[in-house]
Structure 1
Amino acid sequence: MGSLIWERLRQRLWRTIQPRSTWGYILCCGIATFLVVRTLSSSSPLLSSNLPAYTGPFGVGTIDVEVPVETRSINNATFKDGGHPAFQLETVLFTLYYPTRRGTVSSKPHHLWVPKPRAIVGEGYARFAHISNFVTNSLITFGLWGLVGSTKIPAHVDVPLHDSPVLLQSPGFETEPLTVDEGIPVMVFSHGMASSRTQYTQYVGELASRGFVVAAIEHRDGSGPGTQIIRHGQPPRTLLHFDVRHLTVDSGLDGDTFKKAQLDFRQAEVEETVGVLERINHGAGGEIFKSNSRHEGQHLYEWEGRLAIKNATIGGHSFGATLALQTLRNGPSELLPFQGAVVLDPGKQSGPLNHDVRVPTLILHSNSWSSRRSIFFGRAHFDVVKDVVRGVLKRGKDAWFMTSLGTSHPSVTDAPLIEPWLLSFTTGATIDVHEGVNQYVKVTQRFLQYQTTGVKEGILAECVTHPQYWVEDESRPDSGDLPETFQKYWQIHVAPCGPKEGEA
C-alpha cells in the first residue's frame, strides 16, 4: 500500500515539474536558472543598484499599518481552491511615508523592498506568467533574489513624525519653508497591476522628504503577486495573484466584470485607509498601534490633529490611476474626501475611465504611454484622457495633462533604479533613471503645493505647448515661452491656460 501511494506521489510530482514545450516555460526556466547560478556565484545581485537616499530637506520615516476592518464581501465570487470568497475585505494594509527630522535613525531594521516570505512573491509572478509549478515557482523566487537581493527601502522604520509646523519647500529648496496651519498634506496612493505598495518607494519617499504624508496601499484584489493577510491571534493567510481562471464557474465574472470587481474592492480599501487616517488624526493613534498586526506605529498617538485629511489627494499609477479616477465619481464625499488627484499613466486595459471629475487633477503620461497609439473603447486612449482633463476645466477646476519625455511606463516605479540597465534595455526609456523619477516628483510636488496654497508655480503656471503628442521624427511645433528646462522633459497637452477650445 505504501509503495502504491509513493508511486502515485512520484507520478503527480513528475506531471507538475516535467518540462513543457512552450516558449514561455522554456524562457522563464532558462532565465531563472541563469539568475540562480549567477546569484550563488556572486556576493551582489545581478546588475542591481541600491535605492538612493531621499533628497528633500527632511528625513523620511515609514510605518507598515495593517488593521482589521468590518469583514464584508465586495463580490460573491469564490476560489476554485478552497471556496474562500475572492473579494472579502478583512484587513487593510498600507505603508505610511512621512517627514521626520534629518538624522533620525531607527532601532528597527529597514523594510525589505521584496517583503518576506519571498516565495509568495515568486509564486505570484509565476501565476502572472501562467507557468506556476514547483520548479518555476522556486526558480522565479531565486531569480527575484538574484535581481534585487536584499534591497532595503531607505526610509527609517517607526520613527516620530517631524514635530515642527507643516513643511513645504519649492523644488531646489531655494525658498523658505511654507507654514500651513491646516495640517500636513496627505496623499493616498494606489499601485498598478502586477505590482505592490513597495514598488514606488522612491516616488512616495521623495514626496515625504519634501514635507508630505503618503499612504501607499497594498491591494488584495488579485492584482499583486502575493501578500499575507495578518490578523492578531490568527495564522497568516496567503493571497496570491488571481484572475477569472482561479474562480468557480458560478461566480459569473468575465474579463470586464472581473476588473470592475477589482476596482470596487480597491475602492473599498481606499475608503478604509482614509478611515484609519481620520482615526489617527482624531487621536486614536494609540489604538491603531495596538490593533496593528505589523507591530509598528508606536508614535502614532502624536499624530493627532497633524493631517490635512479633508484636503487629501488621491494618486495612482496604471490600474491604480484608473482607480484614482473612479474614487472621484460623485465626489468629494465623506468616505472619499479627495480634493485633488495625481493620475499616472491611466490604464489602457483597466476598464473605462471615469469622466465625472470635479476636483483639480494632474494627469501625467510616460513617453511610451503617449507615443504608442492605443484604441480604447473605440477611440484613441490619448484623446480619451485629454477629454477627461478638459471636462475638469469645463467644471471650473484647474487641470493638467502632460507627457514626461524619455520615460516608459515603469519609470515612476523603483524598478529602473534597482535594475537600470535591464529596464532601459527592455522598455526603451532614454531618460536617466534618477532624473525620470525626479521629474515625476517635482511636478507632483508642485501640484500638492497648489492643493494647499491655490498658487500655480513652476510648470503648472505654463500654458499648453503641444495640444497633440509630438513625435520626434516630425518637425517640432512651437513650444511658446516654455523654459528650456521644461522643454527637455515635458510636453503640456492641456492646462488651465491656452490654447482655447477649437484652437488646438
Structure 2
Amino acid sequence: MAAPQRDSKKPQALRAASGYGSTPVPGAKEPKSRPPKSIRDKLGMLQAHLPYYSGPYSVGTMEIEVPARNPRHFSEIKRNHRHLLQLETVLMTVFYPGAHGSGHGKPPYGGTRWSRETWLPRPRLGTATGYGQFAGIGSLGIPLFAITSMFTKLPAYRNAPLATHWPPNFNLRTDGADAKNQSGPTPPGGSVSPVFPLLIFSHGLGGTRTMYSELCGEFASYGMVVVAVEHRDGSGPRSYVNRGPKETDTKPDGKDTESHTMGNSPEDSSRKGEKVDYIFPKDNPLDTSPNNDKGVDVELRAAQIALRLAEIEEAYNAMCEITAGKGKEEIYDRNLRRKGFRGASSIGLDGIDWNTWTSAFHTEGVTILGHSFGAATAIEALRQPERFHWVKQAVIYDIWGAAVRAADAQAKERSSAKSGDSCQDQSNDVADHVHSTDAPGEDKGTGTIALPLLAINSEAFSYWASNFSLVESLAAEAAANAQPAWLLTVRGTVHVSQSDFALLYPRLCSVFLKMTAHPRRALDINVDATLEFLRLVAPHEHMLHVTRAAPADGVLRAPLQADGDGVSLHRPASKYIAARLRIPHEMSYRFRPGRRARRKKLVAEAKASDEVWMHFKPAAETLRRFGLDVDGDGKDCAYAAPPEARAPRKAQDQDGGEGGEWAKEGDGTGQGRGTQGEAAQTKGTNVAKGGDSAEEPMNTFVGRVQEATAGAGRNET
C-alpha cells in the first residue's frame, strides 16, 4: 500500500475517484492475477461469471445440512399460528483448500465431469423468486436472474480432495497463475501436512451461503477452511429446511414427543423442503433504513441474532465431528443435501475421503467473520466468551450497528449527542433482547469485547454518522481491554462491495450505487487486510502456510486519516446515506474518456490513503503486550514480532515466508524500531495519548461528515 508521496502541486480535484472501468480510485493498484476462465465460463453470453481465486490452492466445496443437536424455537413471534424462528437443521457450504488435480481428470464421485455449486442456491427459481420479493420487484426477479446469473457457478470444485501439501513460496503478484497447484517445502517445525485454520462466516440481510463465495473462496485458496452458514432466521431471500422422517420419543414423564431425524428415504419426510422467506417486520418493513422514523424492530432482530448464534454453534459442532474422524457416520449418513431432497445436488457428499479430514484443521483459535447483520452476529459472539470460547478473533465487514450494543453507557451518550439519531439507542435495545432469548444455561455475555478486532467499512456506510460512531466504539472497546483493533474504510465502495453482487453486476453498481472502486480490487483489499490481521493476532502455528503464500500488502500500515482529506467528496444526499455514493461531475466523467485518461496519468503515484482511510489502529503499547513491536517512521505503522516472543516466526522467515517483511528492521528508510506507534495513533484523529485504549471517541471523521451536511445541497448540484 505504501508508495512515494504525490506531488503536492497536483490539484485536489484529481484525487477524486473516477469510477469502475477507468481509474477506479486514484493511484489504485491492479487486481491480483487469477487463472483464466474455463471454456464454459467464456461461452456464457449474458451470464455473469465469478473470477477464479488468487491463492496458491485450488478450492473445493461441500454442501452440508444436518439436523440440529438442540432443535428449538426463538421468541414467541408467530405467523399463521406457527413460530417464525425455529432451529431444526443447520445448512452450510464449506470452502477448503483442494488437492493437486482438483478440477482435472475424473472426479472422486465418478463420471467424467467435475461438478461446481451454483451461485444461486437450488432450487434456483425459488431463490430467484425470494430475491424478487426481498427487492420489491416480485416475479421480475426470475427473468432478471435467468439472463444474468442463474447459471453462474462457483469457481470451486464440489467434493474435491482436501489438500495435504504445503503451498509454494511464490507470490501471485509476481508469478501469476503459475503458482497454482505447486508444492512448497515443509517449514521448520511444521507437520508433514498443514493443519488449516478454521473460519466461520455469517451473511447479512438478503444473503445466502454463496453470496460471499469470492471472499470465502479467496481465504480457502490461501489455506483456510471456511464455513459459510446459511441462516434460516428470515434474513435471507429464501432457504429450504429439509427434514427426515418423524420418530416418536418418550420422555421420562411418559409423554410422547415428535422429532425429525434422518431416515433411509427422503419420501418418508412429512414436510420435506419447507421454505423460509425473508421476514419483513410487521408494520415496519424498512426498519434497516437510516431514515426510518420507526426505528428497528427490536424483538425480531434480537430473536434472529439469537437463532444465528445457535446455528453457528451447530455448524461448529458439525466441523468438530469431521475433524474428530466421525465425518462418515455423523455428517455423511445424516446429510440432508443429497439426491431426493429439496435444493440438493444429486452428488451430495459422495467421493469425500473422510479420513483425510481427521485432524486436518484447528478447532481452537477460530475466527468469526460477518457482513452487515452478520457482523453484528459476530460481535454478539465475542460478547459471550464462555459460550464461544473457541473464537479468538473477529473480522466485521460493514457492520449494521443498530443490532449491537455500544461499548458502554458513556459511549452511548457520547454517540447520541454527536449523531443526533437513535441508532445506538436501538442497538442497545436489540442486544438486551438477544440475551433475553438465550436458552437456559447459555452464556448471557459480559458485554465486553476482549479479543482482537478488525472492522472494514465501505465508503457508503462510513457516511452514516451514527453507524460509524458505533463501529468506533467497538474498536475502542477492544482497545480498552488491551486488544489490538483496526477500523478502516475502503474508498469508492458501497455496501455490496464485500459480496459477490459487485463482481456479478459491476455496471449496475457503478450506475445506480455510484461505486467507483474496481470490484475485484476492493475484494483484494478486504482479503489482504484480513490476512494481515490474522497473521498478527492468530496463533502462529495456524498461519504458517498462509504467511508463506500471501505476502502482506501493507493495508494495516496505512497512516491514520488526516483532517481535510476530501472525505465528503462522495457523500450523497441525506436520503441516499448508506445506500450509495455520489460522483462529482458524473456526466462529464462518464462521457469524456480523454479526461479520465489524463487523470489516470496524473495520479499514477499512489500512497496508502488513496485506497483506504485508516480511522483506528492499535497503540504501540498494545502491540508490545500482544507480543508484537512497532517499526517505521510514525506514518506507516509496521508491526514486527520480537524474536523472544515469536521465535517460530523467525524460523519461518528463514524458509522464505512473508514473516520477514514484518520482522525487518525499519521500513526501508533506515529508521529502526521505536515508539512511533503512539504518534501515528494520535495523528489526525482524536485518540487518547498513552496507554493502549482510546479514552475519547475518534470523532474527527464523523465531525467532518456532519459539517459537510450543511453544504450537501451545494455539492449535489
TM-score, length-normalised on structure 2? 0.56
Q: 1:231 to 1:353 in 2, by over 3 A?
A: farther
Q: Which residue does the alignment assign to 2:219?
A: 207
Q: Which structure 1 residue ranges, 5 or more long, are not aligned?
A: 1-42, 248-253, 375-379, 475-482
Contact 2:532 2:556 in 1 (8 A): no
Could you tell me how far apart the structure 2 residues matched to 1:115 and 1:461 are? 35
Q: Which residue does the alignment assign to 1:156?
A: 157
Q: Which residue does the alignment assign to 1:35?
A: none
Q: 1:438 to 1:328 in 2, by over 3 A?
A: same
Could you tell me how far apart the structure 2 residues matched to 1:493 and 1:177 are? 39
Q: Is 1:337 aligned with 2:337?
A: no
Kindly state the Cα deviation for residue 183 of structure 1 after the two structures are TM-superposed: 2.7
Contact 1:169 1:178 in 2 (8 A): no
Q: Which residue does the alignment assign to 1:421?
A: 507
Could you tell me how far apart the structure 2 residues matched to 1:246 and 1:236 are? 29
Could you tell me how far apart the structure 1 residues matched to 2:234 and 2:58 are? 33
Q: Which residue does the alignment assign to 1:466?
A: 561
Could you tell me how far apart the structure 2 residues matched to 1:67 and 1:339 are? 26
Contact 2:206 2:237 in 1 (8 A): yes
Residue deviations 1:203-245, cap 9 Å, x none? Answer: 1101111111110000000000101112343222111112343
Could you tell me how far apart the structure 2 residues matched to 1:411 and 1:146 are? 22
Residue deviations 1:78-97, cap 9 Å, x none? Answer: 5433x332111110001110
Q: 1:357 to 1:335 in 2, by over 3 A?
A: closer
Match of 2:198 among 186, 191, 201: 186
Contact 2:62 2:95 in 1 (8 A): yes
Q: 1:157 to 1:129 in 2, by over 3 A?
A: closer
Kindly state the Cα deviation for residue 299 of structure 1 after the two structures are TM-superposed: 2.4
Contact 1:123 1:141 in 2 (8 A): yes
Kindly state the Cα deviation for residue 365 of structure 1 after the two structures are TM-superposed: 0.5
Q: 1:230 to 1:359 in 2, by over 3 A?
A: same
Q: Which residue does the alignment assign to 1:239?
A: 276
Could you tell me how far apart the structure 2 residues matched to 1:431 and 1:201 are? 19
Rg larger in 1 or in 2?
2
Kindly state the Cα deviation for residue 57 of structure 1 after the two structures are TM-superposed: 0.6
Q: Is 1:197 aligned with 2:206?
A: no
Q: 1:427 to 1:177 in 2, by over 3 A?
A: farther
Kindly state the Cα deviation for residue 128 of structure 1 after the two structures are TM-superposed: 2.6
Q: Which residue does the alignment assign to 1:314?
A: 368
Kindly state the Cα deviation for residue 103 of structure 1 after the two structures are TM-superposed: 3.1
Kindly state the Cα deviation for residue 448 of structure 1 after the two structures are TM-superposed: 2.4
Contact 1:114 1:198 in 2 (8 A): yes
Contact 1:463 1:496 in 2 (8 A): no
Kindly state the Cα deviation for residue 130 of structure 1 after the two structures are TM-superposed: 5.5
Contact 1:389 1:401 in 2 (8 A): yes
Could you tell me how far apart the structure 1 residues matched to 2:154 and 2:57 are? 16
The one-letter amino acid of 2:464's match is R
The one-letter amino acid of 1:289's match is Y
Describe the SS at the equivalent of 1:343.
Answer: strand
Could you tell me how far apart the structure 1 residues matched to 2:566 and 2:96 are? 39
Residue deviations 1:157-205, cap 9 Å, x none? Answer: 0011101358998774889778565831111000010111111111110
Could you tell me how far apart the structure 1 residues matched to 2:186 and 2:552 are? 14
Could you tell me how far apart the structure 1 residues matched to 2:336 and 2:527 are? 31
Could you tell me how far apart the structure 1 residues matched to 2:167 and 2:302 are? 38
Could you tell me how far apart the structure 1 residues matched to 2:688 and 2:396 are? 25
In the TM superposition, 1:1-150 aligns within 5 A as 46=46, 48-77=47-76, 79-81=78-80, 83-105=81-103, 106=107, 107-129=113-135, 136-137=138-139, 139-150=140-151
Q: 1:76 to 1:243 in 2, by over 3 A?
A: same
Contact 1:463 1:495 in 2 (8 A): no
Describe the SS at the equivalent of 1:162.
Answer: coil
Q: Which residue does the alignment assign to 1:358?
A: 450
Contact 2:60 2:157 in 1 (8 A): yes
Kindly state the Cα deviation for residue 389 of structure 1 after the two structures are TM-superposed: 0.8
Contact 1:322 1:350 in 2 (8 A): yes
Match of 1:391 among 477, 483, 490: 477
Contact 2:119 2:150 in 1 (8 A): no
Could you tell me how far apart the structure 2 residues matched to 1:170 and 1:358 are? 34
Q: Is 1:285 aligned with 2:407?
A: no
Q: Which residue does the alignment assign to 1:304?
A: 358
Q: Which has the bigger relative contact order, CA under 8 A and spacing at least 6?
A: 2
Could you tell me how far apart the structure 2 residues matched to 1:464 and 1:391 are? 21
Could you tell me how far apart the structure 2 residues matched to 1:207 and 1:268 are? 24
Q: Is 1:225 aligned with 2:230?
A: no
Residue deviations 1:60-111, cap 9 Å, x none? Answer: 0000111111353242435433x33211111000111011124312444211
Larger mean Cα displacement after TM superposition, 406-415 or 167-176? 167-176
The alignment yields a C-alpha RMSD, in angstroms, of 3.0
Q: 1:463 to 1:141 in 2, by over 3 A?
A: closer
Kindly state the Cα deviation for residue 335 of structure 1 after the two structures are TM-superposed: 4.2
Could you tell me how far apart the structure 1 residues matched to 2:216 and 2:115 are? 19
Q: Which residue does the alignment assign to 2:420?
A: none
Q: 1:438 to 1:177 in 2, by over 3 A?
A: farther
Larger mean Cα displacement after TM superposition, 163-172 or 104-113? 163-172
Contact 1:45 1:148 in 2 (8 A): no
Q: Which structure 2 residue ranges, 5 or more long, are not aligned?
A: 1-42, 108-112, 245-265, 285-295, 339-347, 408-446, 570-604, 620-679, 690-697, 699-717
Describe the SS at the equivalent of 1:320.
Answer: helix
Describe the SS at the equivalent of 1:499.
Answer: helix
Q: 1:420 to 1:401 in 2, by over 3 A?
A: same
Q: How many residues align?
A: 434
Could you tell me how far apart the structure 2 residues matched to 1:280 and 1:168 are? 29
Contact 1:67 1:231 in 2 (8 A): no
Kindly state the Cα deviation for residue 340 of structure 1 after the two structures are TM-superposed: 0.5
